Amino acid sequence: MKSLSTKKIGLVLSGGGVRGMAHIGVIKAMQEFGLEAQLVAGSSVGALVGALYANGTPIMDMLRFFKETPLFKYNFISIGKPGLLDTDRYESVFKTYFPHNTFERLKKELHVVATNLEKGEELFISQGELIKPLLASAALPPVFSPVSYKGSLYADGGIMNNFPLEPVRDKVDFVIGSNVSIVAELNKKNLTNSLQLTGRVTGLMIYAINREKIKKCDLVIEPKSLEHIGILDRKGIEKAYAIGYESACKQLETLGS
């Protein structure tokens, strides 16, 4: 582990809603093993966790950010925009944690990805204004409205790139990948309605698209038990965090042996 701590480490954080709290557990484990990433890339919730990490936010404050940020609030209801909730309303919440609102003021290099809905393209962002790109990367349709950024409408980065390895791979010596959009074996009793079926098919598609990139990481942490936590289930925050922490500790112990 000591030899690894001398290398330049990159950290890739996938999308996956509340399951992304496992990323915070991974970061906690890394810190306990004396490991710090110098370069971070994230998509959707991975972009948010990555930004907090790059900002030097303590672990407990990272969890507090997700616990205290109102997911459903009556005055956040979207009016005249597609999406149930108006993503722009969250800007003031984010400013509490990112008062400087710029990539350049972060303590680590950060890359986030968002999806340009008009052009059908992914966009990597690592410079300039911070909060708008973070909101865009995490704006999961149809729950959250798209975000207007530099003249175009952007939404969840995970639509086109749920595991953004690209900005990291060639810039570091060792890549740690935390993937919370996992595909565990599922019993047919969990596929009894259209919603469950849609969730399973979407999960399979996302995993298939990103599987080869995940395999290219030097260390991959993807706890299968996360699949039992709903992507919008706020009650699963602590559980997902604990699962990520325990899984990362086991992986890192193996690495050091």
Catalytic residue (one of 156, 178, 181, 247) = 156
CA 174 remoteness from chain centre = 19
Whether the upstream peptide bond of residue 164 has omega within 30° of 0, thus cis, is no
**Could you say which of 14, 44, 145, 178 is catalytic?**
44
14 is catalytic: no
Q: Is 61 a catalytic residue?
A: no
CA distances 44 to 54, 88, 162, 195, Å, are 15, 15, 8, 21
CA angle, 61 as apex, 1 and 10 as ends, to 5°? 35
| Active-site residue list | 44, 156
